[in-house]
Amino acid sequence: MAVTVRMDVKEVLQHFKQLEDPRSSVNRLHPLDSVVVIAIMAVLAGANGPTAIAKWANIKSEVLLKLLDLPHGIPQKDVFRRVLMTLKPDAFQACFTMWLTALRAAAADATGVERPTLAIDGKTLRRSHDRRRNLGALHCVSVWASEFGLTLAQVATAEKSNEITAIPTLLSLIDIHGAIITIDAMGTQTAIAEKIIEGGGDYLLALKGNQGTLHDATIDYVHEQTKTDFRGIGARRWDTVEKKHGRIERRTYIQMPAPKSLPGFNNWKGLLSIGIAFLLCIRDGKETSEVRYFISSLPVKVKQFAHAVRSHWGIENSCHWCLDVTYREDESRIRDEHLRENFAWLNRLTLSLLKQHPEKDSVAMKRRACGWNDDYLLQVLTGTSR
C-alpha cells in the first residue's frame, strides 16, 4: 500500500506550533516544535527513551542543525525528558489529528476501502508500574485502522477494567461515520453500541461470559439452528483455508439475522445480526479449535462480517505485536505518568508512519533503515519516497 501525504520538515513542524510550551520561560533555549520533531525522528530510528533520543540527536547533529531551528545547538537529555514529562498527553495527541486525518484519507484512496474497520483494544505496558509511588502499569486503549495500518487515537487508563469508560472517550476523538467498529467482549455495552450508531458507524461486538444471559442465549439459538443446518432463517456461510508457517487454518463464518427473542434485544440500538467465527488449526498433526460469537448492527453479508472479524485481529498482529517485539514496549521501565503516556503515543505514531512507507520490508527493517540512512528517515517522516 503506497500512501502519499507529501510534506517537508517545515510542514511537520507546523503541527506543533500551537502546542503550549510547559517549560519555564527562564533559560528556555530550544524551540518546542524542534524538540518534539527530534523525538519523533529518534523513535523512528530506534530510540526508546529520553537518553536514547539525546544520544541519537548528538550523533545526527550535523543533519538536525540544517533541518531544524536549533539556535543553541542540540538539546541534552534533560530537555527531552522535561518536555515529555510535562506535556499534557491530550494536548500532545491533539497535535497529530490533522496529520493522521490526512494519512487516513490518503490510505482510503490508495486501498479503495470505503468502510474501514476500526479495531478498539487495550494494551498494558507491563513493566511501567512503580510500587514505591503506588503507580500501576499503564494501560492504553487505542483505535487501529486495520486496513490502513494507522493508530488514530489512544486513551490511557489506570487498569484494564477502565476500558469500559475509556471507549466512549476514544470514539469521540475520531470520525467513525461509515466505519465498522470492532471491540472485544469487555466493550460490549449497550451505551457503547448506541454511541457508535449515533456517530454513523456500525458495530461488531464480541460476546463472552461477562454478557451473561445474552451470551448464553446466543449460543443456545445457534445450537438450535444447527439441527436444521441454519435453513429458513436467512443465514449465510463463508469458509476459508490458509496454509502458512507450517500450519493449516480452516475458518468458518456464519452470520444470521438476530432473533428478537434474544434477552434485551431492544436495548441494543441498531442490532441486526449475530455471527459465529470458528477456527480449526492443524499444526504438526495436532488440532486446536476456537469458537467466537458476535452481535452486530451490520446486515447479513457474511464476507463483510468475515473481513471485519479478521481485521480486528490486526490490532494484535500488526500493532500490539510490533510494539512488543520491535519496539520492546513491554520491557519499558519509563515510570513517570506523563512521560510513559507520551512515549506510548510516540511509539504508535511512528509505527503508523513506518506502515505507510511503500517498501515491503518489515517494520523492524524499516526502523533500522531510518537509523542507517538520513534520506530514508526523512521519507518516512514526510511521506515521500524515491
Residue 120 CB-half CA count within 13 A: 35
Contacts for 217-220: CB closer than 8 Å, 24+ residues apart: 217/261, 217/262, 217/263, 218/262, 218/274, 218/293, 218/295, 219/293
Q: Is the pLDDT of residue 127 over 80?
A: no
pLDDT bin (cut points 50, 70, 90) of residue 224 is very high
Query: How is the chain split into domains, by residue range?
Result: 9-97+336-382, 113-260+268-321
Residue (of 141, 120, 270, 265) closest to 198 by Cα position: 270
CB neighbours (10 Å) of residue 138? 25
pLDDT bin (cut points 50, 70, 90) of residue 159 is low
| pLDDT at residue 352 in the model | 94
CA-CA distance, 119 to 227, in Å (whole number)?
34
| pLDDT at residue 316 in the model | 86
Q: Is 254 left (phi over 0), alpha (psi -120 to 50) or beta?
A: beta
Q: Which of 5-19, 208-222, 346-360 has the highest mean pLDDT?
A: 346-360
For 315-359, write each residue's pLDDT tens digit: 888 898 999 999 998 887 777 778 888 999 999 999 999 999 999
Q: Which of 232-236, 259-263, 334-338 is predicted with the least confidence, judged by mean pLDDT? A: 334-338
Q: Is the pLDDT of residue 168 over 90?
A: yes
For residue 139, the SS3 value is strand
CB neighbours (10 Å) of residue 62? 9
Q: Is the pLDDT of residue 2 over 50?
A: no
Q: What does the pLDDT average to over 88-109?
A: 87
Q: Is the dihedral of CA 303, 309, 313, 319 positive or negative?
A: positive
Q: What does the pLDDT average to over 243-262?
A: 91
For the packed helices 374-382 and 337-356, what is the interaxial angle rounded to 10 degrees? 100
Q: What are phi and psi of 269, to 5 degrees?
A: -60, 130
For 28-72, write each residue's pLDDT tens digit: 899 999 999 999 999 999 999 999 999 999 999 999 999 999 999
For 274-310, write each residue's pLDDT tens digit: 999 999 998 888 889 999 999 999 999 999 999 999 9
Going by their DSSP bridges, the two strands 236-244 and 202-207 should be labelled as unpaired
